[in-house]
């Protein structure tokens, strides 16, 4: 890649899907695909067939581009507030020939508030503050789910003090899917359903 910000290429393979991501020096997780992202992707079921997918905080496109390849019939949108990340996500989409993915610059979900999605994913950033996590990464995204839609998140273990509390406070339907290597995967189903935690 001819780009003054370019650092290197990262290779990623999961369930037979092989991808290459060009990354810039200042972006998140430029040594390898973030472990939390890999754990999240490993736990999303193979048999679902979403038509519309949203990746919130997409970075250079690891989650969204993988899902675009995994679900070729879907339309996948990635959002990020960092315009350099958006540039790299779109270039990585071209690199990996995922024409069903595009990244958009957006603080939170403001650029897609008029759309609905079957599947939403996010590797939630740990350092943006509790209020921002609750509003921008939990409550507002849940309002974009189609009926029967699912919102999958991965968090670092330090945030586990926060996520169950948000779910209880807002009566959200939440399932704890997996705990591994300092990360926790949760699935939300519908913002308006009563909380029903499942531990594994």
How is the chain split into domains, by residue range? 6-159
Q: What is the mean pLDDT of the chain?
A: 92
Asked if pLDDT for residue 200 goes beyond 60, the answer is no
Q: Which pLDDT score is estimated for 197?
A: 42
Alpha-carbon span 192 to 171, nearest angstrom: 7
Judge whether residue 1 has pLDDT over 50: no
**Could you tell me which residues come within 8 angstroms of residue 124 by beta carbon, excluding any fewer than 6 positions away?**
57, 133, 137, 153, 154, 155, 159
pLDDT score recorded for residue 152: 98
With a pLDDT cut of 90, the percent of the chain lying above it is 84
Predicted TM-score (pTM) of the model is 0.92
Give the pLDDT confidence score for residue 194 in this predicted structure: 44
pLDDT at 199: 41
29-33, 94-98, 161-165, 172-176, range with the lowest pLDDT: 29-33
pLDDT surpasses 90 at 177 = yes
Instruction: Please compute the mean of the pLDDT values over residues 109-137 and round it to a whole number.
Output: 95
CATH superfamily placement of domain 6-159: Vaccinia Virus protein VP39 (3.40.50.150)
195 band by pLDDT with thresholds 50, 70 and 90:
very low
């Amino acid at each position: 890649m001819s780009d003054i910000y370019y650092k290197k290429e990262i290779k990623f393979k999961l369930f037979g899907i092989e991808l290459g991501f060009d990354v810039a020096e200042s972006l998140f997780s430029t040594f390898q695909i973030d472990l939390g992202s890999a754990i999240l992707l490993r736990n999303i079921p193979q048999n679902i067939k979403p038509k519309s997918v949203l990746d919130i905080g997409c970075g250079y496109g690891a989650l969204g581009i993988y899902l675009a390849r995994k679900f070729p019939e879907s339309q996948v949108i990635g959002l990020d507030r960092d315009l350099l990340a958006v540039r790299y996500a779109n270039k990585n989409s071209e690199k990996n020939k995922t024409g069903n993915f595009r990244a958009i610059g957006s603080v939170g979900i403001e650029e897609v508030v008029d759309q609905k999605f079957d599947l939403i994913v996010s590797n939630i950033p740990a350092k943006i503050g509790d209020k921002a996590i609750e509003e921008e990464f939990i409550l507002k995204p849940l309002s974009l789910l189609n009926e029967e839609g699912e919102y999958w998140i991965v968090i670092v273990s330090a945030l586990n003090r926060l996520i169950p509390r948000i779910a209880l406070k807002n009566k959200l339907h939440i399932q704890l899917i997996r705990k591994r290597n300092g990360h926790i995967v949760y699935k939300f189903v519908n913002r308006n359903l009563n909380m029903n935690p499942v531990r594994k």
